[in-house]
Amino acid sequence: MSEARALLRHCVATLAYRASKVVRDLPESVADFRPSDSSRTPHQIVSHLGDLMEWALSMAEGHEAWINGEPLSWQETVDRFFGSLGRFDAFLASDAELAVPAERLFQGPIADALTHVGQIAYVRRIAEAPIRGENYFVADVSVGRVGAEQADPKFEFD
């Protein structure tokens, strides 16, 4: 596996870790909270995260396709995102050739997804359901662990 592909898998695992933290124990009222008329709700953002990971996989496989996901319940939307992230990681873990450079996959869908995870964290704070800050440098991020179940935080801030 190339260094770029290995780093991309670590980025995918980091995305899973951070996304898991912002969706965990999210109150139902916050899932559909809209801080302004022009902003997305956390529910809409997580749906978009699923779209991004499906797009990433389609590009990696060589048949780029963008599909807007169907409206689902909150839990189904979260499951869809982590499922699509898992399928993307499984492809990265395989011997299949990437149809596009790993660096492009990072700069497009992965970086975009990390931005959106931060948006959910911010919306949670506005909606008075904040997550605790964390020293992510020491977090137990593990390549291949890309589901909603993640390691407990090692060092959170108050």
Any idea which residue has 């709700």 for tokens? 41
Q: Enumerate the β-bridge partners of residue 134.
A: 156
User: Rounded CA gap, 20 and 12, in Å?
Assistant: 12
- Would the pLDDT of 1 be above 90? no
pLDDT in tens, 83-142: 999 999 999 999 999 999 999 999 999 999 999 999 999 999 999 999 999 999 999 999
CA 137 to chain centre: 18
Helices 3-23 and 42-61 pack at an angle, to 10 degrees, of 160
Helix H or strand E segment including 124:
helix 111-126
Instruction: Kindly report the pTM of this predicted structure.
Output: 0.95
Q: Which CATH number fits domain 3-138: 1.10.760.10, 3.40.50.2300, 1.20.120.450, 3.40.50.720?
A: 1.20.120.450
Extents of the domains making up the chain: 3-138
- Would the pLDDT of 158 be above 80? no
